A and B are shown apart, each in its own frame.
Chain A
Amino acid sequence: MPSNIALNPPTPTKSMFKRAPMASAKSYLSALSQADARARAHGATPTSTPALSLSSSVTSSSEDTVLNDAELDNYDGLALPSVPPTSEQVFPTIHSEFGHCSNENYRYRSAHPAGKPLHNLEETDPPYYILITTYLSYIFLICLGHLRDFVGKRLTPAFYRHLLPYDGYAPLNSDFDSFYTRRLKTRMDDCFSTPTTGVPGRTIMLLDRSTTDYNITHTLTGTRTRGLNISSYNYLGFAQARGGCADAVEEGIRRYGVSTCGARLEGGTSELHIMAEALVARFVGQEDALISSMGFATNSTVIPALVSKGCLVISDELNHASIRYGVRLSGASVRMFKHNDMEALESLLKEVISQGQPKTHRPWKKILIIVEGLYSMEGTLVNLPVIMELKKKYKFYLFIDEAHSIGALGPHGRGVADYFSVNPRHIDILMGTFTKSFGAAGGYVAGNKILIDRLRLRAHGGVYAEAMTPPVLIQVVASMASIMGVSSPVPQLKHSQNSSVSSASTIGLIESAEHHPGPALPSQLPPWMDLPPMMRDGSEGQTRLRRLAFNSRYLTRGLTKLGFILYGHSDSPIVPLLVFHPGKMAVFHRMMRARATPIVVVVVAYPATPLVTSRVRFCLSAAHTKEDIDTILKACDEVGDALDLKHMPGERWPLQRIMDSAVELVNMRDDE
């Protein structure tokens, strides 16, 4: 009997076709016409969303929903929705890129209940035998690795030559430094750096690899596997090759080309930069913003411009590598506090302010606290309300890295400040990236105008780094504007009313336009940019936000009810599932990929996490449908049983009950 711990993803076999809900284009089309007929017979209007179904512009979107054979190869059940749409429901997206979901119940508003403290997370410890066996497996791996090194160096010295001094050169990489990589990571290298092709949307196409030397080298086999993608940072589902954003980018490439040819201050500033920066500032609710062409570099080149010797940076212990890199470059002193522990932070603040600089005891020039909005490995949200309280008392400056939270949190997608209803202007620096929620690349910092102007001159990127390229800028502008919606030009309203009322209402409109979070101003978009109506009025953006919020909560709650140990808050689109054993991690990955509907997951282990808490990290997207989450839950249920992963104490629900009461689960409050 073949073990269910399959080590290699099977090639699609006939049995899979049988299992699939719909085998071919033909059956799909017949199902579609049947559904149509039913709808006509009842004479009822089908339940369609106003946002993502668009009956009026069937012709314009017909190209997008063009049926070609490649798209309809539905053996894995990923290309077509399980319930075919009626002809009244026209989805302007491709199901494999952005799933079709018209059920308005599968929506949720991402916001923190006002006035309540942030739900304190207690990390659940696994049973002791799990911990002990986890340590044992590491010890075993380490001993075995050293044994193999010991024997290998004597029997096959050629393999070790690059690790040992040779011909008067010290090795580039000592065998000790690379031990973990060689002896532990290599064993499961098939789970990392898998090459892909196509759009990293709701599904992703993996290029299959094989290895003949135990993962030291991989060769592409030429075949492909499509999988349900819960790995890419695609929170709002803007990774799309079709649709309003891609159309705008295409037009933009024709108008602006591909490159900006130089650094911002030297010869690479385009009018697009100016527009995009104004839009970003408005989106996050700050006076001004500065865009950088790489997310990592945003932190590593801006932080040195903010603090220097004699300043103190207080950093959460789990901050991203780019922040640490930037702080190291700055020359400022650094203190760390326990992850999200506000009491530890306060006592540290008391200590550092009262003690001043080490030895000299001079007061610190500035104290900058750097935290992330949403932690990418933990799924935890920063306790912003408490930090804002502390900020009033201790007068530090606050830098929030919203790489993951911008677009993904808050009822308007404006990040943690929006989520906790905090005035963003009270935060000194908001930093974020465009990679995750906007389907683009690069990053920004936003703050008051004085500060941003200072950064334009002083941050490294403005002088030396290439400016962001036009296609990326346009993707940023188009996706951001569609989340915000674009306010209609004011003067047109005037004519319908008498003059005295209209002037009052105009003022009101202008004032409300200044209010955060408000819509984008038409002047902040290039005049040629012609967004589809659904994107222009912000309704599509709203739907995306609400679908993401639903999906995040549903998966978190569902997995918890199944008995898995998770980290993070339930509104977080990042859901880490703890597997503990390094060995189970690889098997989890392989089993998920080998399913009839392959699921593509990210597994993370030491050194990105503490040694024992190896985990699987799910990244949800607005592109997922409720059925996709069901698929994931079902897969996790089965794999979790096989791998003994369900160790959460508390009430457990059977899978069917979870799937049936998804809406109820999502609307459950955190303390229930």
Chain B
Amino acid sequence: MDSSSSALEPLFAFLSYSVSQIETTFYKIPGSHVVARYVKSSHQDDPGRTVLEILLVIFAIRTLLQSRTRADSGGKHFIQFSEKEVDELVEEWTPEPLGQPLSAEEEADLASVPVISGANGPKPKLLNTGKQVLNLASYNFTGLAGNKDIEQRAIETLRKYGLGSCGPPGFYGTIDVHMDLERSIADFLGAESAILYSQAFSTISSVLPAFAKRHDVIVADRGVNFSIQKGLQISRSTIRWYDHNDLKSLEEVLESIEKDRRKRKAPLTRRFIVTEGIFEKDGAMVDLPKLIELKYKYKYRLVLDESISFGTVGRTGRGLTELYNVPASQVDMLIGSVANGLNSSGGFCAGSRIVIDHQRINGTSFVFSASVPALLAVSASEGINILRNTPSILSTLQENIYAMRAILDRVDCISIPSHPASPIIHIYVRYASPNTLQLPTSSGKPSNPSSVQPRDPPVFDIEAEEHLLQDVVDEALAQGVWVTRARRLRGQELLEARPSLRLAVSAALTKKECEKAANVVKAAAVKVLSRRK
């Protein structure tokens, strides 16, 4: 006994020494006296509080230390199994196959996609037939595909920069040609700044969640494209919908949100209007001046997707802002496609410097993706130069659109929802019998803004119409005109789009060729659609 306590003595001495050491060091820290006095007096006043506080600290530490990935074994719905039962359950479980085999229909669908042999352009050669066709399927609005100047610049860039950028913009992937392109896009549009993403489809789905967060309000068109839908989904914001391209409906929705906010005295959140310039879904065009007016009236920020309209409308292809003579600075976030408009690859967002710089850190697909290859950025810059210097491209494009519409608008068995200036022309099957007419039986009541479904959804038979349209496509192709059905991810879109034939007009075609193509499409449509019962 004695020996053990004497053996422990140096330990006690050491302990008391270190305690006093800690105490003196503690008191050396400036302000420590105040803390010590506070703790002492609070303990004197209320010892229970000390206990409570210690418990709180322990709880805080425990919460901090708990792993995010821990098993949820404490949950209400957790069932305890023995080792053997778990093994049996594991043995029993059979998963569904990862991918279902294609049905015969889907096989045919996939096989119906033509493959181009050689360069794409206004008159490409198709691989399976070996024949040249008039191309109304590919996006070559301004006819920049195959431009020799652009090719030459691309080759020069290749010889200076190599091909890949080999890194995300933050880590030495920002090449001077990217900065040049961003500047020329901003200058071209008249915006303060612009940012370049490496895929057009991934642009807006990244721009939206960079700004809109939970509890923010987004008012969106019911007909927005898939990329916007995905951006809205990721943002987790409160979404309100207005009827497709119906600005009166938009105003009603804005008004009701404002009323609701005032009633609930809700705090101020970010609010956005999201829509497209020319809708990818049907070619309708938004009334931009009215939209701007509403945005200012209700103090919303406007996100405008110009993926189709940039490079295709306006005197030199600057898009809707040029067409309506609205300063681009009034659109808070203007998204466009470098791939469609400039025949390269990538997308951009133009806006104020604050808006753009924010995305350089928070735009997911900007930050986490390698930047566009240098030669594609240079090709796009060269494309802008060409558009600036050759306004005739855009006038040719508009003349071609006009020529085609002049023929197609007079066909009875189809209907065209697209705006007369839209470079994409969607063609619906028109039903002859009046009882399946798609005019909404207007009940006068507005749709529910919380639901993406409109009050009176148009009725159509997707499968039958797709069939008919594919027959039209095949028929036209046999006549040497390549058009395509507008492909959709059926079942994944929020609102099913009506099946349509999509014509992409190009400035690289002559007026004659366009008329010929339109006549072929017309003949094919008449032939196929008159056959049906």
- Which residues of A come within 8 Å of B, CB atoms? 97, 162, 165, 167-173, 178, 181, 185, 192-201, 204, 206-207, 229, 231-234, 238-242, 245-246, 249-250, 253-271, 273-274, 293-297, 300-301, 304, 306, 317, 320-322, 325, 328-329, 335-338, 344, 347-351, 353-355, 358-359, 361, 363-368, 393-397, 428-429, 433-436, 438-441, 447, 450-458, 460-466, 468-472, 475, 600, 602
Partner of A162, one of B135, B198, B354: B354
The reply to whether B89 and A450 form a contact with Cβ atoms under 8 Å apart is: no
Asked if B155 lies at the interface with its beta carbon under 8 angstroms from chain A, I say: yes
Chain A residue at minimal CB-CB distance from B506: A261
The reply to whether B159 and A241 form a contact with Cβ atoms under 8 Å apart is: yes
The reply to whether B120 and A261 form a contact with Cβ atoms under 8 Å apart is: yes
Asked if B58 lies at the interface with its beta carbon under 8 angstroms from chain A, I say: no
A selection of 18 A-B contacts at a CB cut-off of 8 Å is A169-B268, A200-B166, A204-B172, A232-B167, A239-B166, A246-B163, A257-B146, A259-B140, A259-B144, A293-B345, A294-B198, A338-B67, A344-B69, A348-B71, A349-B90, A361-B79, A439-B162, A441-B198
Shortest distance from the beta carbon of A668 to any chain B beta carbon, whole Å: 30
The reply to whether B201 and A453 form a contact with Cβ atoms under 8 Å apart is: no
Chain B residue at minimal CB-CB distance from A246: B158
Shortest distance from the beta carbon of B522 to any chain A beta carbon, whole Å: 20
Shortest distance from the beta carbon of B271 to any chain A beta carbon, whole Å: 7
A543 and B339 alpha carbons, distance in the complex (Å):
37
In the complex, which residues 149-187 of chain B have their Cβ closer than 8 Å to any Cβ of chain A? Answer: 150-151, 154-155, 158-167, 169-176, 179
The reply to whether A232 and B93 form a contact with Cβ atoms under 8 Å apart is: no
Known: A204-B172, A440-B373, A450-B101. A460 touches B166 (CB 8 A): no
The reply to whether B115 and A354 form a contact with Cβ atoms under 8 Å apart is: no
The reply to whether A441 and B373 form a contact with Cβ atoms under 8 Å apart is: yes
Shortest distance from the beta carbon of B200 to any chain A beta carbon, whole Å: 6
| Contact residues in B for A296 (Cβ distance below 8 Å) | 198-199, 202, 364-365, 368-369
The reply to whether A172 and B71 form a contact with Cβ atoms under 8 Å apart is: no
The reply to whether B368 and A321 form a contact with Cβ atoms under 8 Å apart is: yes
The reply to whether B120 and A232 form a contact with Cβ atoms under 8 Å apart is: no
A-contact 0/1 string along B107-121, CB 8 Å cutoff? 101100111111111
Residue tally, chain B, CB below 8 Å to A: 120
A194 and B171 alpha carbons, distance in the complex (Å):
7
Known: A195-B179, A266-B137, A348-B71. A234 touches B166 (CB 8 A): yes
Known: A170-B271, A268-B138. A471 touches B375 (CB 8 A): yes
The reply to whether B270 and A170 form a contact with Cβ atoms under 8 Å apart is: yes
Asked if B259 lies at the interface with its beta carbon under 8 angstroms from chain A, I say: no
| Contact residues in B for A397 (Cβ distance below 8 Å) | 95, 98
| Contact residues in B for A169 (Cβ distance below 8 Å) | 268, 270, 299, 301
Residue from A206, A238, A435 whose CB has the most chain B CB atoms within 10 Å: A435
The reply to whether A455 and B99 form a contact with Cβ atoms under 8 Å apart is: yes
Shortest distance from the beta carbon of A322 to any chain B beta carbon, whole Å: 6
The reply to whether A395 and B373 form a contact with Cβ atoms under 8 Å apart is: no
A55 and B355 alpha carbons, distance in the complex (Å):
56
Among all A-B residue pairs, the 9 with the closest Cβ atoms: A267-B137, A465-B201, A267-B138, A451-B99, A261-B138, A294-B199, A454-B99, A296-B369, A466-B339
Shortest distance from the beta carbon of A464 to any chain B beta carbon, whole Å: 5
The reply to whether B160 and A262 form a contact with Cβ atoms under 8 Å apart is: no
The reply to whether B139 and A261 form a contact with Cβ atoms under 8 Å apart is: yes
Shortest distance from the beta carbon of A463 to any chain B beta carbon, whole Å: 5
Asked if B361 lies at the interface with its beta carbon under 8 angstroms from chain A, I say: yes
Known: A355-B79, A460-B489. A258 touches B361 (CB 8 A): no
Partner of A465, one of B202, B484, B502: B202
The reply to whether A259 and B225 form a contact with Cβ atoms under 8 Å apart is: no
Shortest distance from the beta carbon of A557 to any chain B beta carbon, whole Å: 25
| Contact residues in A for B201 (Cβ distance below 8 Å) | 297, 301, 460-461, 464-466
The reply to whether B69 and A259 form a contact with Cβ atoms under 8 Å apart is: no
The reply to whether B100 and A347 form a contact with Cβ atoms under 8 Å apart is: no
The reply to whether B299 and A464 form a contact with Cβ atoms under 8 Å apart is: no
The reply to whether B95 and A367 form a contact with Cβ atoms under 8 Å apart is: yes
Partner of B199, one of A266, A297, A347: A297
Chain A residue at minimal CB-CB distance from B85: A354
| Contact residues in A for B158 (Cβ distance below 8 Å) | 241, 246, 249-250, 253, 471
Shortest distance from the beta carbon of A360 to any chain B beta carbon, whole Å: 9
Chain B residue at minimal CB-CB distance from A600: B172
Known: A170-B270, A266-B484, A440-B164. A317 touches B69 (CB 8 A): yes
A250 and B375 alpha carbons, distance in the complex (Å):
11
A262 and B141 alpha carbons, distance in the complex (Å):
11
A651 and B526 alpha carbons, distance in the complex (Å):
84
Chain A residue at minimal CB-CB distance from B483: A267
